Structure 1
Amino acid sequence: MAGPILVVDDDNFFRQLASDMLSRKGYLVVPAANAAQALEAATHETFDIVITDLVMPELDGFGLTTKLRERDPEQEVILVTQRTDVKGSAMALSAGVAVVLAKPVDESDLLLAVERAMERVQLRRERSKLQTENLEFARYQNLHQRCLELLSQPDLEWLQERVAAELAAVCDAQSAALWIADDRGHLILRAYRGLLDKQFLAERMSPDGPLGNRLREAMPWIARDERSPVLYVPFVIGGEIMGLAQLSDPVAGDFRSEHVRYAKILGDSAAVGVKNGRRMLALQRLGLRDRDTAAYNLSYFTDYASKEIYKARRYGRTFSLLTFSVDNLPLVRMRLGVPDAKLAVRGIIKAFGRIVRDSDVIAKASEQEFYLLLPETDFFGAMMFVRRALDAVRAEPEAQEVESRLPLALVGGASTFPKDGEDFDELVHRCRRRMDERRCSLQRKLMLDTLPFWDEVDLLLGNASSPKLPVEESAEPSRRGKVSDVLFDELQSEIARELMRDPSSRGLLYVGGPEIRADLPIAQGLESASPEMASRIYLLGRRGDLDSHPALTPVFLEGDERMARHEFILWMSETASYALIQRRGLGATWGFHSSDTAVVDGLITRLQVEYDLQPY
């Protein structure tokens, strides 16, 4: 259908004449008395053809044509003039005029010029439509190619990264975050990119409630906040929620309807890809597990660790690697037989399996060595896990059955990325070094694990006539003997300064003595500490003049004579382990102090059991 025609002439007679000629042929005509009116009309409406006189006041036909073609370079213009010179016609054509007609204008000439101009307009429209259709076809072809790539790769780790990147690309978003459903249906943050700050992203989301209902509709939606519009893309297949993508910071400032369409197509393919990836992962796990223990084999674990290292580097995350060894398993096999050796290994793996998270991975590296990978776990968390793992093994019935006849020499070590290394071999090497340190530790040499807290204290403190401690040069230093009267206070002050320097560092500190007082150096040093301090600090003793403190937790122990005779500091953090136990006497203070991590950990464990204290 032809569009309107704008007729511009300061001569009312010609303006009316031309309008009548065109109207009789069914054209819609809009008259304008001068260039200013014409430009105003062109601001509000698009004209297929403009018929203008050359000579007009203020702005002539050439000037009007120039301004119109600045807005639309393909604007059809027919110029009417009384000038018939060649120079004028050449100027008109150079200005972009399609046809020049001389006044008085013959009706047939005008209609022919308009008809041909309309043909050119229609041809341009059809060309533009074809270009748009071809462009849209190319976009969908590209989009479906992206979908095929997502469906062709069953590697779930690769898929998570690729889906976030592809959605951001097709929706012109600068930022993207991706949550994938775990085996329990919870949405776990797996990838993010662009301008997003991880601390503002939920690590885990429940698909229950309004969010789950919205996701099951399987349609992307746009939410708007003060900062930026956000496009949410659910991944749903057969009513099962597979994931959710969040796209933000659109390049153009907002998301358009085509972005929602593209996101829907890509999101549906991503849902299928995620489901296929989970199936493939399940099959891999079945084929890569040890038959006796169901732990993964070393090949799978190494590959998984490599991917975890890549993610940790990219997103600035941390994770921990743990190694455990049953040092006397060959002896168990020789004395008790192969079935009991296998029973012990199964019991150990079962014990580990009871305390790990869904994201943790257990592998059997050899007959007597096991690896665990703990994502998003710092070194302090890894040390706490080693303790829990050893306790879990002692409580496991299958392991107990073997230990009743021959104790298992199970030792563990931990390392953390990137603190202890940035590749798998470095981390394993660091774990083994820490296992060696535990093998050389007093904790193992004196078999302290089975002693109650105060019996262990008495053994470690000894007295002046006690034999020397069996310490090797390669072990962490442990000493007993006379100590300075001010060591207990100085050590508290130093720990307080360290905690104030880095309040975000995790640690565990127990300070025990006859009385919990406000003038203890640890209490004074942490007076201005935030209640949000990451380390947990406990004071043990009978009630004194300290009832509450922003950073300390008092544990009142009334009538405990052993506590009244001793003072101790047990300190374990990501960077240090230290124990000081002392008895004050007439003229001298007798003490034991050690930086042996296994000894410090053992003392803390026994103390928690002795006084029913909550583990970290």
Structure 2
Amino acid sequence: MDKGTILVVDDDAFFRHQYGDILTEAGYHVTTAASAEEALEVLANENFDVMMTDMVLPGLSGIDLLREVKRRETPPEVILVTGHATVETAIRALKAGARDYLVKPFDPEVLLHDVHTCLEQRRLLNENLHLKRQIRLFTAGQDLAALLDMERLLSQAMISFLEETGGGRAFAFLKNGRNEIDIIGTEGVSEEIARAHALRLMELKPECKWFQRFSAEQLTPVVEPFVDIRSLYFFPLCREDHGQGAVVVFNPDAGDFPADVYEPNIRFLFEQLSLGFSNALRYEGARDMMFTDDLTGLYNYRFLQNSLDQEVRRCERYGATFSVVFIDLDHFKEV
């Protein structure tokens, strides 16, 4: 059984075969390359856990190759090998990001020990990264469930879903009392285009209780300026099994959603959003009772103050102008 993937880079065929045989016998999957340039071509199409490279190579050196590899999003651990060791070259190798440094000739057991150490350190780093991601996800979910202000809730939901899905643009909308679409917020997309997609999605009557992913073919025709859509995630906002709106996330500009989107994480965020939406609706119901006059049923002074605060924040966010008109009605009770 393969214990890990290793790329061996050496211009000397003898050493390539020697290292390859040692590592293969130990259960590792080994690929070899005769130059740094060949190694970079291999790395462009395949990921490796460990790369073992000679310092002196034709063309790019082992140090140059190490620096190029470290620019990758998920670089392998690197062991540098040389037959001419000096303190200076060892320091250069470690400063460039090498995990270890071997001097030819070396005992095969030393090589196997170093490779095992690299893989173990890589495993621990991956576990640590996974734990950090889970903590971040849990914190984002808590925030969604606890936000009572509807605009802040939907704005935070767009950010969280964009990050988790690898999407590029998003918007959120709600249906108002006249059953019309109100665009609550956008990220990277105009309000006009968001409204057109919201109307189209409502025509499709998507499932209310669960999120869905739609392809471009299911959404056409929509609007001309947004032809680069390939797919989208639709996260419905429901009240008593009736759709009240949604958070919508589009694919990135450069292509479709990443292939490694982890849907259990998206499911968790969606569940927290649904809980937060339900809480926000209850809060709005309680707030409406605070903002209406018991005798007349009309909005009171507290409602005016709250509405003014909301409109001022909205204008600051979108760079719009804001005006207030006060009209005094004589004999109001007779009206």
Q: Is TM (by shorter chain) over 0.5?
A: yes
**Aligned pairs for 1:501-512 within 5 A:** none
SS at match of 1:187: coil
Q: What's 1:214 paired with? A: 206
Query: Counterpart of 1:422 in structure 2: which amino acid?
Result: V
Could you tell me how far 1:192 is from its partner in structure 2?
3.7
Matching residue of 2:277: 270
Match of 1:288? 294
Give 3-state SS (helix, strand or coil) of 2:47's partner: coil
CA distance, structure 2, for counterparts of residue 308 and residue 100 of structure 1 = 66
Query: Is 1:36 aligned to 2:28, yes or no?
Result: no
Larger radius of gyration: 1
Q: Secondary structure at the match of 2:206?
A: helix
Distance in 1 (alpha carbons) for counterparts of 2:272 and 2:307: 30
- C-alpha separation in 1, matches of 2:30 and 2:311: 69
For residue 197 of structure 1, report the CA deviation from its aligned partner.
5.0
**Closer, same or farther in 2 for the Cα pair 1:57/1:141, shift >3 Å?**
same
1:428 correspondence with 2:328: yes
What is aligned with 2:134? 133
The residue correspondences of 1:530-609 to structure 2 (distance < 5 A) are none
Q: 1:119 to 1:269 in 2, by over 3 A?
A: closer
Q: Quickly say closer, same or farther: Cα 1:189–1:428, change in 2 above 3 A.
A: farther
Counterpart of 1:428 in 2: which secondary structure?
coil
Aligned to 1:187: 179
Highest RCO, 1 vs 2 (Cα 8 Å, sep ≥ 6): 2
State the partner residue of 1:177.
173
Aligned to 1:57: 58
Looking at structure 1, the residues matched to 89 and 312 of structure 2 have their Cα atoms a distance apart, in angstroms, of: 72
Pick closer, same or farther for the CA change 1:297–1:75 going to 2, 3 Å: closer
Residues in 2 aligned to 1:131 and 1:74: alpha-carbon distance in whole angstroms: 19
Match of 2:116 in 1: 115
How far apart are 1:196 and its partner, in Å?
5.0
Alpha-carbon spacing, 1:95–1:187, altered in 2? closer, same or farther (3 Å): same
Structure 2: segments with no counterpart, 5+ residues: 163-168, 217-221, 316-322
**Residues 259-280 of structure 1, C-alpha deviations (whole Å, 9 max, x = no match):** 9643554245424643675588
Q: What secondary structure sits across from 1:235 in the alignment?
A: strand
Q: Is the 8 A contact 1:237 1:271 kept in 2?
A: yes
Q: Any gaps of 5 or more consecutive residues in structure 1?
A: 151-158, 290-295, 317-417, 436-616
In 2: Cα distance, 1:215 partner to 1:263 partner = 14
CA distance in 2, matches of 1:92, 1:201: 55
Percent identical pairs in the alignment equals 25
Give the stretch that moved more between structures: 161-170 or 87-96.
161-170
Q: CA deviation at 1:189?
A: 4.3
Tell me by how many angstroms 1:19 deviates.
Answer: 0.8
Task: Report deviation, 1:10.
Answer: 1.4
1:6 partner letter: L
Matches of 2:153 and 2:175, distance apart in 1: 11
Say whether the 8 Å CA contact 1:176–1:192 is kept in structure 2.
yes
- How far did 1:14 drift? 1.3
- Name the CA distance, whole Å, in 2 between partners of 1:223 and 1:105: 56
Do 2:81 and 2:103's aligned partners in 1 also have CA atoms closer than 8 Å?
Answer: yes
How many residue pairs get aligned? The number is 300
Cross-structure match for 1:373: none
Structure 2 letter corresponding to 1:177 = F
Tell me, yes or no, if the aligned pair for 1:231 and 1:255 is still in contact at 8 Å. no
State the shift of 1:234 in Å.
Answer: 3.2
Higher strand proportion (structure 1 or 2): 1
- Tell me, yes or no, if the aligned pair for 1:178 and 1:244 is still in contact at 8 Å: yes
Cα distance in 2 between the residues matched to 1:38 and 1:200: 46
TM-score (norm 2): 0.68
Q: How far is the alpha carbon of 1:59 from its aligned partner?
A: 2.2
For the aligned residue pairs, the C-alpha RMSD in angstroms reads 4.4
- Provide, for residues 103-154 of structure 1, a one-character-per-residue CA deviation record: whole Å limited to 9, x for no partner: 22321222222222222222222221222222222222222222xx36xxxx
- After TM superposition, the score normalised by the length of structure 1 is 0.40
**8 Å contact from structure 2 (residues 291, 302) kept in 1:** no
